[in-house]
Each structure stands twice: as C-alpha cells, then as structure tokens.
Structure 1
Amino acid sequence: MNVGSILKSKGRAVSTVRPNATLLDVVKKLAPKKIGAVVVVGENGHVAGIISERDIIRATSEHGAQALSMMVSEVMTRGVISCQETSELDELMETMTKGRFRHLPVIEDDALVGIISIGDVVKYHLAEVQMEVSAMRNYLATG
C-alpha cells in the first residue's frame, strides 16, 4: 500500500498555519481537530516547516506561559521530511522511526497535497497484514 491509497481513503485536508502566527493560534487549531501537528506554509504556499505538540511543549518548558505568544517561526521544525504519493508504508515506518517524528507532509510537484500520521500508517499497515493473514488462511483451508 502507498500514500496515494491512504489519501484516497482518509482525504487530503491539511491544517496549515503561517510562520507569523502565535503558538496560541496553533494550540487553538490542534485541540478542536484532535490533531498533533500543522504544516507551516510561507507566502508562496510552499512548506516552510511543521509545528507539533512536541515543539510547543519544548517551547513552554524553556519559556513558560510566555511561549504561547511566540511566533511559529521561532519554534517550528524547519528541516521538514516529506513523502510522495508513491511512497510505500514500509518506507514511511522506517523514516518516522529513524527521525522520531509522527507526521509527514505529502508533497507532489512542489505542492502540499496531504499529510500522513503514524496513526494512519499503523491503521493501514494492520489492514494490510489482516488481508495477508486472511489470504493465507484461505489458501491453507483449500490447500
């Protein structure tokens, strides 16, 4: 299974924020949507970074409650690792595990077309494994 299949099923909506937004703005996006990260897009619409719950916790740990008034550009992760619609689940699991992050923006032709979370990867990987188990059981039963 690849990223394109996951996006076809889950949708392509991506929550975004501008670099000059505050961390409080981000918190107000994350909580109601029950998501863990938003993609930071610059004026040209290209991905400038990503900001996650972990980034906000780190900033709050270092700066206290004043962190909520800091700009996203001060806290965001700039070196964003992304994937493409052709990326396979095994590749995503390896990338996320090695990088110790839980969200990958999906980029096609320099455009943001979706986002994949570790929850998505686990959900679809389990479905893939269950299909394989079912196929093996059918094979053995008819064997």
Structure 2
Amino acid sequence: MTVELILKIKGSDVVTVGPEDSIEATASLLSARKIGAVVVKDREGGVIGVLSERDVVRGIAQAGAAALTKPVKELMTGKVVSCRLQDSVTEVMGRMTDRRIRHLPVIEDGKLVGMISIGDVVKQRIDEALLEADELKRYIATG
C-alpha cells in the first residue's frame, strides 16, 4: 500500500496559507476546517513550511497572546519533511514516528499533490491488517 492509495481514498485537497498570514487567521482556519496543520507556500507556490496546532501552542506558550499577531513564518516548521506518492504506508509511518510529526505534505516532481496525517496512515494500516486477516481466514476455511 502506498501514499497514492491513501490520497485516492481521502482526496488530495490541501489547505495552504502564506508566510505573512497571521497566526490568528490561520488558527481560525485550522479550527473551521477541523484539521491539524496547513502547508505554507511562497508566492511562486513552493512549499516553504508547515504550521501545525503544535506550532501554534508553542508560540502561545513562549509569547502569550501576542503570538496570535505574528506572521505564520515566525512559528512554522521550516524544515519540511515530506513524502512521495510511491512511498509505502509502512515507510511513511516510520518517518512520522521517528521525526515525531503528524502531517506530511506529499510532493511529487517539486509540486504539492496532497497531505497525509498519521490518522490517515494508521487507518490504511488497519485496513490492510483486516484484509490480510480475512484472506487468511478464507484460506484456512477452504483448506
């Protein structure tokens, strides 16, 4: 199973913001869309960062309410860890676990083509395990 399959199931829409957008507006967007992270793109459309709920909480812990007036570029994670369409679910799960991140932009040929979360990956892995168990039961039952 690959990242491409996850995106075929969940869709490839990605919520993006600009580096100058405010943390307050972006936090409202996260809440309204019921998502945990957004991709930060520059004017040319290049991925330059990810801003997660965790980044917002850290900013508020450090600067208090003033963090909400800061631009996204000040709190975003600038070193973007990403994946590709052909990456396996197991590989991506390991990358997310090792790096302690919950969201990965999917970048193919330098272009943003989707976003996956740890929830998407875990759901896919559970679906795989259930399918394998059903196939094994059928195999045993038919001898």
Q: What's the TM-score once normalised by structure 1's chain length?
A: 0.99
SS of corresponding position for 1:86: coil
Q: How far 1:32 sits from its partner (Å)?
A: 1.1
The CA RMSD over aligned residues, in Å, is: 0.5
CA distance in 2, matches of 1:50, 1:82: 10
SS of corresponding position for 1:136: helix
In the comparison of the two structures, how many residue pairs are matched?
Answer: 143
Q: How far 1:45 sits from its partner (Å)?
A: 0.3
Tell whether 2:105 aligns with 1:108. Answer: no
2:53 maps to what in 1? 53
SS of corresponding position for 2:45: coil
What is the aligned-residue identity percentage? 48
1:6 maps to what in 2? 6
Q: Deviations over 1:18-38 (max 9, x none)?
A: 000010011111001110000
CA distance in 1, matches of 2:112, 2:138: 41
Q: How far 1:9 sits from its partner (Å)?
A: 1.0
CA distance in 2, matches of 1:82, 1:48: 11
Report the AA paired with residue 88 of structure 2. E
Superposition pairs for residues 54-69 of structure 1, below 5 Å? 54-69=54-69
CA distance in 1, matches of 2:90, 2:4: 14
CA distance in 2, matches of 1:16, 1:127: 29
1:125 maps to what in 2? 125
Runs of 4+ in 1 over 2 A off after TM superposition: none
CA distance in 1, matches of 2:109, 2:101: 23
SS of corresponding position for 1:20: coil
Q: Deviations over 1:63-121 (max 9, x none)?
A: 00010000101110010000000010000110000000000000011100000000100
Consecutive unaligned residues in structure 2, runs of 5 or more? none
Q: Deviations over 1:41-74 (max 9, x none)?
A: 0011010000000000000000000100001011
CA distance in 2, matches of 1:39, 1:106: 10
SS of corresponding position for 1:106: strand
CA distance in 2, matches of 1:56, 1:122: 24
Consecutive unaligned residues in structure 1, runs of 5 or more? none
Tell whether 2:39 aligns with 1:30. Answer: no
Report the AA paired with residue 92 of structure 1. V
Q: What's the TM-score once normalised by structure 2's chain length?
A: 0.99
Report the AA paired with residue 125 of structure 1. R
Report the AA paired with residue 123 of structure 1. K
